[in-house]
Structure 1
């Protein structure tokens, strides 16, 4: 399977919310995502919720791009193709995946370049 086949005519939705990526030592009930590791917990929250978190570090100003497509587990290189394309546009990414959906967070200032690059790959962008 070729990742470009899924990108071509695939739908990517752009969040209206702005997020912050926070390093903390506990969960947050309203977090979009929580990643727990032995030494830290990372939560992704809407920017308005940052003050409610006792965070060691906060990286604000992220917008979420959600790939609204069914991606088979056997598909190799999908996120690599996305990350490479965005890197070529000088866009840094923070990637999250759930069971059925991939999300790429980009800095708000980089959103226009990211959208433009994904459209070049054939994605339909929904805001």
Structure 2
């Protein structure tokens, strides 16, 4: 179909994308072939995070992480809505009702560092995280 043709054209390099977008597209195609999520990197912000970095994503923003270890915190809720790249139920009706489709700029949270503490303070205070690392000789 049309989607498969588009995937082939993108994989052949017929369209230009930033390397991070193409890398995400390729990874999704490898791990989830035929999944609608293949097109997410084309419409979402692709953000590459370094170890120790933080990203704040407000409620209602469609997001995914492709690899690595992370800590994800969210308000108490029973409405985790999946949009792709999963064998679990994909609820299109809920997606259209709950997702904010207004373009967003990624909000990277830089840690504030004190002696043994890195504090990550995003716009919403309930999600503050402190990483405490006291050396053994202290």
TM-score range, shorter chain: under 0.3
TM-score with structure 1 setting the length: 0.27
TM-score with structure 2 setting the length: 0.25
Larger Rg: 2
Q: Which has the higher strand share?
A: 1
